[in-house]
Amino acid sequence: MEFKIALLPGDGIGPEIVTEAVKVLNVIAEKYSHTFTYETALVGACAIDATGNPYPDATHEVCTTSDAILFGAIGDPKYDNDPNAKVRPEQGLLRMRQSLGLFANLRPLAVFDSLIDRSPLKREIVQGADFVCVRELTGGLYFGKPQGRSEDGNTAYDTCVYTRVEVERILHLAFGIARNRRKKLTVVDKANVIATSRLWRQIAKEIAPQYPDIEMEFMFVDNAAMQIIQRPTYFDVIVTENLFGDILTDEASVISGSLGMLPSASVGAKVALFEPIHGSYPQAAGKNIANPMATILSAAMLLEHLELRKEGQAIRNAVNKAIEAGVLTEDLSSEGEAHSTTDVGNFIASNI
């Protein structure tokens, strides 16, 4: 089969980890007689430097004409450290999500048995943890209008807005995911304080009868933040709004022992995007030390999205072999020799 894949390496370690994922995809293509055609485009700080726009029109064209998108990371200290910057790399990410209709971010979390002692939590707490966070991506505080601040720099304001359509579509997606897992859905909100959360809760109650086989519950976000640490095995599917999802998924990612292990997918009305959950890690850029496994696992999710399930599983099996063999980058190799980004990619590719 033939597929066109848009590559958006982005900033920092993005180009290095995407290179390793492509290496693995090329082995898959050869073994399973597929043809993957790649087109690379700019996004983030590198796009600002080249065009002044963090998500150029040319990049959007590449994305919309592809079957899937593999994304690295965005972010650069020169923008992070400048509160007065009018154009920021992160604006490109938000614009891309909105322009492509990527309304849902799916972040699966599963603890690898061979890495369980890398988790900051006790083995008996995290063993068996396996859940999915479904985060709404194109509404809420990050996109609310108006936004601004006073001319004297003493006051700032943002608005959180959600519509029925936005809430319904993310809830239907989450119910569907729960139906294919352990049939339990936790809706996380702050309905005791926030009006948009009360809308979420109202709509969830209206939709729930359409899914009688799914056990649905509500949980306040502050409680959820505690429960994810105290009882990570309790959860199956979590669905929540944009800001809460951003925070909770980063919190949950630590359970596995490393941000470098967790892939994600952003899906919606058009082409789907696949990316590691970590950032651009600029301190490691160009040093060949970044963990490429999350990006390689994102490539596995990409293949599964394209209905190439055995190919995706082949990548997962090879990643497991690398973990069991101790072929790990410095974030996971507390004992023994740390392997380079390239070493890890080569090992995984050679074991497919």
pLDDT digits (tens, 9 = 90+) for 276-293: 988 899 999 999 999 999
Which residue segments constitute the domains of the chain, with CATH numbers given?
1-102+258-352 (3.40.718.10), 120-256 (3.40.718.10)
Residue 133 Cα distances to 209, 218, 241, 247, angstroms: 22, 14, 11, 11
pLDDT digits (tens, 9 = 90+) for 129-185: 999 999 999 999 988 888 887 767 789 889 999 999 999 999 999 999 999 999 999
Cα(151)–Cα(121) distance, integer angstroms? 46
Task: Using pLDDT thresholds of 50, 70 and 90, give the confidence band for residue 99.
Answer: very high
Q: What is the pLDDT of residue 328?
A: 92
Q: Buried b / exposed e across 195-211, counting CB within 10 Å, b at 16+?
A: ebbebbbebbeebbeeb
pTM: 0.87
Q: What is the pLDDT of residue 82?
A: 67
3-class secondary-structure state, position 183: coil
Q: Which of 11, 190, 331, 343 is catalytic?
A: 190
Cα(143)–Cα(98) distance, integer angstroms? 9
Q: What is the pLDDT of residue 335?
A: 64
Kindly state the average pLDDT of the residues 188-192: 98
Q: What is the pLDDT of residue 336?
A: 64
Q: Which of 205, 222, 234, 310 is catalytic?
A: 222
Q: Which of 80, 250, 270, 321 is catalytic?
A: 250
Cα dihedral across residues 306, 309, 310, 312: positive or negative: positive
Structure tokens belonging to residue 11: 């900033």
Q: Which range among 111-125, 291-305, 335-349 has the greatest average pLDDT?
A: 291-305
343 is catalytic: no
Contacts of 339 (CB under 8 A, 6+ apart): 327, 328, 329, 333, 347
Q: Which of 142, 162, 211, 281 is catalytic?
A: 142
Q: Which of 67, 130, 158, 246 is catalytic?
A: 246
Cα(45)–Cα(70) distance, integer angstroms? 17
Kindly state the average pLDDT of the residues 183-194: 98
Q: What is the pLDDT of residue 145?
A: 83
Q: Assess contact for 84 and 323: CB atoms under 8 A.
A: no
Kindly state the average pLDDT of the residues 216-226: 98
Q: How far from the centroid of its chain's Cα atoms is residue 21's Cα?
A: 15
pLDDT digits (tens, 9 = 90+) for 289-336: 999 999 999 999 999 999 999 999 999 999 999 999 999 999 887 666
Cα(5)–Cα(45) distance, integer angstroms? 22
pLDDT digits (tens, 9 = 90+) for 41-77: 999 999 999 999 999 999 999 999 999 999 999 999 9
Task: Using pLDDT thresholds of 50, 70 and 90, give the confidence band for residue 193.
Answer: very high
Other Cβ atoms within 10 Å of 232 Cβ, number = 22
142 is catalytic: yes
pLDDT at 215 over 90: yes
Cα(63)–Cα(70) distance, integer angstroms? 10
| Mean pLDDT across the chain | 93
Higher pLDDT, 250 or 342: 342
Q: What is the pLDDT of residue 146?
A: 83
76 is catalytic: no
Task: Using pLDDT thresholds of 50, 70 and 90, give the confidence band for residue 230.
Answer: very high
pLDDT at 6 over 90: yes
At residue 134, φ and ψ (nearest 5 deg) are -110, 110
Q: What is the pLDDT of residue 87?
A: 87
Region of poorest pLDDT, from 77-81, 251-255, 347-351 = 77-81
213 is catalytic: no
% of the chain beyond a pLDDT of 90? 79
